[in-house]
Amino acid sequence: MIPVQGHEGQTIAVLGLGRSGLSTARALRAGGAQPVVWDDGQRGREAAEAEGFALRDLARPGALDGVALLVTSPGIPHLYPAPHPAIAAAYAAGVPVDNDIGLFFRSYATEDWGLFSAAPRVVAITGSNGKSTTSALLHHILTEAGRPAQLAGNIGRGVLDLDPASDGEVVVLELSSYQTELARALTPDVAVFTNLSPDHLDRHGGPGGYYAAKRRLFAEGGPDRAVIGVDEVEGRSLANQLSVGPADDRVIRVSSGTKLAGEGWNVFAKKGHLAEYRKGRQVASADLRGVAGLPGAHNHQNACAAWAAARALGLGPRQIEAALHSYPGLPHRSQRIAEEGGVAYVNDSKATNVDSAAKALAAFDRIRWICGGLEKEGGLEALAPHLGRVAKAYVIGREAEHFALQLTGVEVEVCTTMERAVDRAMAEAQPGETVLLAPAAASFDQYDSFERRGEDFMAEVRLRLG
């Protein structure tokens, strides 16, 4: 646990008592603060009460009297589409609002660091797609290279559940836009921006607000090094804003599919080959085609971002390349679960938006595609260039018929349930094809998480394969 510093003896309110909320309350208490907590759900309140925390309905008049800080969980809106009533009350009362990420960055460093031979460092990774894989991959690279490392944030443990820092340790944080948009302190040593595509637009008031939430990690934090994916205009703009000139190697530009020229520090992958350039000259390379845990161009972009961050931390190219080949991949992200009769089965349930599903489709040649769910804003037009790879689509979800109508130019079967979709796809799959779950939609119409959806897919496949 990371005890929260700077609030000894103060009353601190905690709103939302899921994983991060309860962790925050414990860390506040460990640091000498007096937390009062609330969750709109009874289960969260009961869990907190069982640990001895004082409950207080933070939206009631006067509930924030004497409160020095309100700490809110990431999923609770603080601006769009409308602030939670407790947060609106904090604004009116002048009570500062923060989240666990802000508390972490203010509390991680301690006096003990003066005894370390090498200061601990923090790498924070954000973006629309690929941030989980990039975070887990970087953690794997560091561990394989013998560097002490911890993984937390939007993946793994909550940030305040981390162990106190050790000598030379690296903390790798995956941060969502929900986490970066509100944290009052953001001071990573290395910050990574993978890419940007439309997502969570209702929460951020549109694409500009979504980009602004991601950009805060760099604008507020002032990292020593910034790794920026430049395959979209937002990344190119961000890299330009952070750099003082073409040769500024504090910015490492990353791309998948484009050779990056110039005098700066560039890492890119093209046709399965990764190349690192500095000052206009190639200094390292790696063949990604045989890396089983990172299939497809989108994962090659993740490999480039993790490579760049690892190099910024001082690791050597051969150390990184060896670790790439031993990376097992993350569950529900291009996860190869079986192969039988020449047919491969891949679980990419994390492909919850159109952009990530398009990248999943681009990774395979002939696909039996299981898709559908709770549609997000923007429609499915961005999938059109990749539908030529699809032998047939099997659509699930409560709105399967509406989803299917948007898939023009490809054979479609409305299945509604995962059971029927897997049954039909496996019955029709031919050698050389891939049965791919890449929904291009959220899971909440049928499942409580993308993980449960992926687990259902895997269970149905394994049931039939025996």
SS3 annotation, 88-142: HHHHHHCCCEECHHHHHHHHCCCHHHHHCCCCCEEEEEECCCCHHHHHHHHHHHH
Answer whether residue 362 shows pLDDT above 70. Answer: yes
Least confident of 89-93, 136-140, 227-231, 378-382: 378-382
Question: What tens digit of pLDDT does each residue of 150-176 get?
Answer: 999 988 789 999 999 999 999 999 999
Residue type, 367: I
d(CA 326, CA 239): 31
The answer to whether residue 2 sits within a structural domain is: no
Task: Please tell me what DSSP assigns to residue 378.
Answer: T
Of 126, 128, 116, 197, the C-alpha closest to 381 is 197
Q: Which of 54, 77, 98 is the last residue of a domain?
A: 98
The answer to whether residue 401 sits within a structural domain is: yes
Same structural domain, 320 and 342: no
* Mean pLDDT, all residues of the chain: 94
Same structural domain, 303 and 322: yes
Q: Which of 309, 326, 343 is the last residue of a domain?
A: 326
According to the model, what pLDDT value does residue 382 have?
Answer: 86
Least confident of 113-122, 155-164, 196-205: 196-205
**What's the Cα-to-Cα distance from 28 to each of 22, 379, 422, rounded to whole Å?**
10, 43, 47
The answer to whether residue 287 sits within a structural domain is: yes
Q: Specify whether the CB–CB gap between 400 and 374 falls below 8 A.
A: no
d(CA 427, CA 461): 11
Same structural domain, 307 and 365: no
Least confident of 42-51, 294-303, 314-323, 396-405: 294-303
According to the model, what pLDDT value does residue 375 have?
Answer: 87
Same structural domain, 131 and 172: yes
* CATH number reported for the structural domain that contains residue 43 in this entry: 3.40.50.720
According to the model, what pLDDT value does residue 377 have?
Answer: 73
d(CA 245, CA 227): 16
Same structural domain, 372 and 409: yes
Least confident of 278-287, 325-334, 434-443: 325-334
Same structural domain, 155 and 135: yes
Same structural domain, 220 and 286: yes
- Model confidence band, residue 89 (pLDDT cutoffs 50, 70, 90): very high
- Model confidence band, residue 261 (pLDDT cutoffs 50, 70, 90): confident
Percent of the chain with pLDDT over 90: 82
**What interhelical angle do 19-30 and 42-50 show, nearest 10?**
30
353 is in an annotated binding site: no
The answer to whether residue 247 sits within a structural domain is: yes
d(CA 440, CA 215): 25
Answer whether residue 253 shows pLDDT above 80. Answer: yes
Of 241, 247, 300, the C-alpha closest to 275 is 300
Q: Specify whether the CB–CB gap between 302 and 137 falls below 8 A.
A: yes
Mean pLDDT to the nearest integer, 286-305: 91
Q: Which of 98, 116, 136 is the last residue of a domain?
A: 98
Least confident of 11-15, 73-77, 341-345: 73-77
Answer whether residue 221 shows pLDDT above 80. Answer: no
Which residues are 370's β-sheet partners?
A: 394, 437
Same structural domain, 70 and 163: no
The answer to whether residue 5 sits within a structural domain is: no
Q: Give the burial string for 320-345 (b: 16+ CB within 10 Å, else e).
A: bbebbeebebbbbbbbebeeeeebbb
271 is in an annotated binding site: no
* CATH number reported for the structural domain that contains residue 140 in this entry: 3.40.1190.10
Same structural domain, 268 and 128: yes
Same structural domain, 16 and 37: yes
Answer whether residue 88 shows pLDDT above 90. Answer: yes
128 is in an annotated binding site: yes
Answer whether residue 177 shows pLDDT above 80. Answer: yes
- Model confidence band, residue 249 (pLDDT cutoffs 50, 70, 90): very high
According to the model, what pLDDT value does residue 156 have?
Answer: 77
Same structural domain, 88 and 110: no
How many structural domains are present in the chain?
3
The answer to whether residue 6 sits within a structural domain is: no
The answer to whether residue 1 sits within a structural domain is: no
Same structural domain, 156 and 228: yes
Mean pLDDT to the nearest integer, 392-409: 94
Instruction: Give the strand pairing for 434-437 and 343-347.
Output: parallel
According to the model, what pLDDT value does residue 182 have?
Answer: 93
According to the model, what pLDDT value does residue 197 have?
Answer: 80
131 is in an annotated binding site: yes
Cis amide bond preceding 81, omega within 30: yes
72 is in an annotated binding site: no
According to the model, what pLDDT value does residue 159 have?
Answer: 96
* CATH number reported for the structural domain that contains residue 391 in this entry: 3.90.190.20
Structural domain span for residue 420: 335-465
* φ/ψ of residue 297, rounded to 5: -65, -35
The answer to whether residue 4 sits within a structural domain is: no
Q: Specify whether the CB–CB gap between 98 and 91 falls below 8 A.
A: no
- Model confidence band, residue 199 (pLDDT cutoffs 50, 70, 90): low
